[in-house]
């Protein structure tokens, strides 16, 4: 019998799907399971998207990790005692300028003033060189993050600080010394030395430069203090009434002074770098420690500064040295002997200082890992 769309048979054939409990339960269960699975799938996909594909969450995690990094990574490490080094170096420069002025002013004749100016010029030049480097180091350290690791800005800032010290030194000399050609030579050469010292402080390894400045300043002070022990050493090395004995004694006294000055320079350089290493470790435990080339350069730095000062003296102070050498034959011999002695002293301080700093650093190194186990393994085999 054919079912008509509007008949009762058609209505009866459409009802069992809704009225059958088994069919209804199965349909409801499948619908609920499908809904639950879809919800779980959507939740899982959302979590995965949040973990792997959400850029905001990844950026936030990276920012949080960056904020947890130590501050030492973001900028250059400060130089230990930079302000104190600058103050001591400027004080030493002022002392050298004052003592030179007093010596020149106390001279009875102009000839004596020229000779004393030539003798005092190396001390003033060395002090100006160290003062320019110390003040430039302090200025660059004061700028800190503004300079950062940009070598050009650091170098320009260091030269500017050295120029400031050089101009101040030249102004002080012209203001307090007698107005003559000798004064102008001392002023101009001292200004040039301060600028060169400032340029040297623009190196990237600030702790090494600080060690060189500290060691050089200590070496200059030691040389002046050593002058009180020269007379007893002359007697110790057999200085007598002959010219030959005096020359030999003077040679041995100069070598002793250079050797001790080199040891002082090396120990001061090592001590400063050890202090800087401890401060850096407290600031950032993960900061890399300085290697042996830094200690070698710091120990050799004072001797190198002395040699640079000698070059400045011979170039900038040539006219003053020639005037002093032209006074007499004895003055000419004295100027030549002093120039040679200064060069030898710089070389001795350079090599002895470098060797002393390197040996002191080597004493702090422990045995390499596994060295104690190797002999045991060879014995067991």
Residue 138 Cα distances to 154, 168, 202, 232, 301, angstroms = 12, 17, 11, 40, 18
Q: Tens digits of per-residue pLDDT, 108-159?
A: 555 677 888 888 899 999 999 999 999 999 988 887 666 666 778 888 889 9
| pLDDT of 163 higher than 50 | yes
Q: How far apart (Å, rounded) are the C-alpha atoms in residues 280 and 151? A: 21
Q: How far apart (Å, rounded) are the C-alpha atoms in residues 37 and 247? A: 104
Q: Tens digits of per-residue pLDDT, 43-68?
A: 444 444 444 444 444 444 544 444 44
Residue 273 Cα distances to 79, 181, 207, angstroms = 10, 43, 7
Query: For the chain, which residues make up each domain, given as ranges?
Result: 80-363
Q: Sorting pLDDT into bands at 50, 70 and 90, what band is 282?
A: confident
Question: What long-range pairs does 273-276 form, CB within 8 A, spacing at least 24?
Answer: 273/207, 273/208, 273/211, 273/298, 273/357, 273/361, 274/364, 275/80, 275/81, 276/79, 276/80, 276/207, 276/210, 276/211
Which of 16-25, 53-62, 161-170, 197-206 comes out lowest in average pLDDT?
Answer: 16-25
Which of 200-204, 267-271, 300-304 comes out lowest in average pLDDT?
Answer: 200-204
- Report pLDDT for 277: 86
Q: Can you give the pTM of this predicted structure?
A: 0.74
Q: Tens digits of per-residue pLDDT, 232-267?
A: 888 888 777 777 777 788 888 888 999 999 999 999
**Max avg pLDDT among 74-78, 221-225, 369-373:** 221-225
Q: How far apart (Å, rounded) are the C-alpha atoms in residues 347 and 130? A: 18
Torsion angle in degrees (nearest 10) through CA of 320, 118, 210, 150: 0
Burial of 211 (0-12, 13-18, 19+ CB in 10 A): buried
CA angle 96, 189, 308 (to 5 degrees): 85
The predicted model gives 221-239 an average pLDDT of: 84
């Amino acid at each position: 019998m054919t079912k008509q769309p509007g008949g009762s048979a058609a209505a009866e054939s459409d009802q069992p799907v809704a009225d059958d409990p088994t069919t209804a339960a199965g349909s409801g269960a499948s619908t609920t399971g499908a809904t639950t699975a879809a919800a779980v799938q959507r939740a899982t996909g959302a979590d995965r998207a949040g973990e792997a594909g959400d850029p905001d969450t990844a950026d936030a995690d990276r920012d949080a990790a960056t904020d947890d990094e130590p501050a030492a990574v973001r900028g250059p490490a400060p130089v230990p005692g930079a302000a104190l080094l600058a103050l001591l170096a400027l004080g030493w420069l002022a002392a050298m300028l004052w003592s030179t002025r007093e010596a020149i002013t106390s001279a009875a004749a102009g000839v004596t003033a020229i000779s004393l100016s030539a003798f005092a010029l190396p001390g003033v030049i060395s002090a100006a060189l160290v003062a320019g480097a110390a003040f430039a180091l302090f200025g660059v350290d004061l700028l800190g993050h503004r300079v950062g690791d940009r070598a050009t800005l650091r170098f320009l800032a260091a030269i500017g600080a050295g120029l400031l010290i050089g101009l101040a030194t030249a102004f002080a000399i012209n203001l307090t010394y007698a107005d003559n050609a000798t004064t102008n030579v001392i002023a101009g050469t001292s200004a040039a030395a301060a600028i060169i010292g400032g340029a040297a402080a623009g190196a990237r390894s600030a702790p090494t430069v600080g060690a060189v400045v500290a060691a050089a300043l200590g070496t200059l002070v030691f040389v002046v203090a050593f002058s009180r022990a020269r007379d007893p050493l002359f007697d110790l090395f057999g200085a007598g009434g002959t010219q030959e004995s005096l020359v030999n004694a003077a040679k041995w006294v100069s070598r002793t002074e250079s050797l001790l000055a080199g040891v002082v320079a090396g120990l001061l350089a090592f001590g400063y770098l050890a202090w800087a290493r401890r401060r850096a470790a407290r600031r950032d435990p993960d900061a890399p420690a300085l290697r042996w080339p830094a200690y070698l350069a710091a120990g050799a730095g004072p001797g190198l500064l002395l040699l640079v000062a000698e070059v400045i003296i011979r170039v900038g102070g040539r006219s003053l040295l020639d005037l002093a050498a032209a006074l007499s034959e004895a003055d000419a011999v004295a100027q030549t002997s002093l120039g040679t002695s200064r060069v030898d002293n710089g070389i001795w301080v350079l090599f002895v200082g470098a060797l002393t700093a390197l040996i002191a650093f080597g004493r702090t190194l422990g045995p390499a890992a596994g060295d104690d186990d190797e002999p045991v393994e060879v014995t067991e085999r």
